[in-house]
Amino acid sequence: MQKRTTFVISDRTGLTAEALCHSLLSQFPSVQFDIENLPFIDTLEKAQDLVTTLNTLAEQNNQKPLVFATLVNDDIRKIIADGNVVFFDLFDTFIDPLEKELNIESSHSVGKSHGVLDFAQYSARMSAVNFAMTTDDGMETDHYARADVVVIGASRSGKTPTCLYLSLQFGIFAANYPLTAPDLENTEMPDALEPYRNKLFGLTIDPYRLQQIRQARFSGDTYASAQTCQFEVAQTEAIYRAAGVPYVNTTKKSVEEIGAYILHKASLRRKI
């Protein structure tokens, strides 16, 4: 199997570069990539130290490392790009054509995609996080009037991370409510949720995956049995269908995907 040492190099957090790098490299499943994220390379000295390491590595491995970079400063970028590396410039590649299209020069200041937020944005995010924490797991249902969305589903179907993600990433007020045994005796909407039908979004999950998750902590419990998991999943889906609640199957989705899907499908307005 081909192996390639790979570095993600950025003057900031490197989160964007890292995500794009993973996305690109996932297109080459037959190669084993050893990926390291090197954030905050924001001085000439750090760049020079780093390129020395990269050059040594290239010589040792007799192979140039792959470098995916988002470096705004021209001098820092040049130091790395001139090293003994295969350089993929995720940032500057697009700056030239953007300058031509917009007919103005770029500011060449360090990117703000994960940067300074204004106070309104900061507050929006904090409020949303606090709301998600306060209303987690069916607590404080009297706060639902302020919710943008109320995520419902069986226990361990992924409600909490989904709501935290919606709050952190988009500033969405996301409460969550577990559909537990008493709620699942019939397909009627629980009383606490009835007034908020238009804010509900359901999660469902493959019953075998649910069982796997529950058994990891509650092995042997009825709660973690195949029968219970199958019944609960079938019954939650029946409740969603009876009430016309939109829902998503979380089994093969990451939290990012579930969050982006709910935002999209429920036409929620992001606040950050």
Q: Which of residues 66-95 bind its own copies (CB under 8 A)?
A: 66, 70, 72, 86, 88, 90-91, 93-95
First-to-last C-alpha distance (Å) of the chain: 43
Burial of 222 (0-12, 13-18, 19+ CB in 10 A): exposed
Nearer to its own copies, 91 or 218 (CB): 91
Contact between 175 and 147 (Cβ < 8 Å):
yes
Query: Which one of residues 48, 186, 212, 227 is an interface residue with its own copies (CB under 8 A)?
Result: 212
Compute the least distance from the CB of residue 50 to its own copies, in Å: 14
H/E/C letters for each residue in 82-111? CCCCEEEECCHHHHHHHHHHHCCCCCCCCC
| 271 scored as a contact of its own copies (CB under 8 A) | no
For the bound state, the minimum distance from the C-beta of residue 43 to its own copies, rounded and expressed in Å, comes to 15
Residue 29 as a binder of its own copies (CB under 8 A): the answer is: yes
* Subset of 140-179 contacting its own copies (CB under 8 A): 158, 160-161, 164-165, 168-169
Instruction: Verify binding: residue 55, its own copies, rule CB under 8 A.
Output: no
Residue 123 engages its own copies in binding (rule: CB under 8 A): yes
| 46 in contact with its own copies (CB under 8 A) | no
> Counting contacts by CB under 8 A, is residue 218 touching its own copies?
no
CA distances from residue 261 to 145, 247, 255, 266 in whole angstroms, order as listed: 22, 10, 10, 8
Under 8 Å CB-to-CB from 95, ≥6 apart: which residues? Answer: 106
Stretch that binds its own copies, among 7-15, 74-82, 145-153, 185-193 (CB under 8 A): 7-15
From the list 163, 170, 157, the residue with the least C-alpha distance to 131 is 163
Residue closer to its own copies by CB (options 98, 238) is: 98
* Rounded Cα distance, 1 and 143, in Å: 55
Site for its own copies in 234-253 (CB under 8 A): 252-253
Is residue 116 close enough to count as binding its own copies by CB under 8 A?
Answer: yes
Number of residues that bind its own copies (CB under 8 A): 77
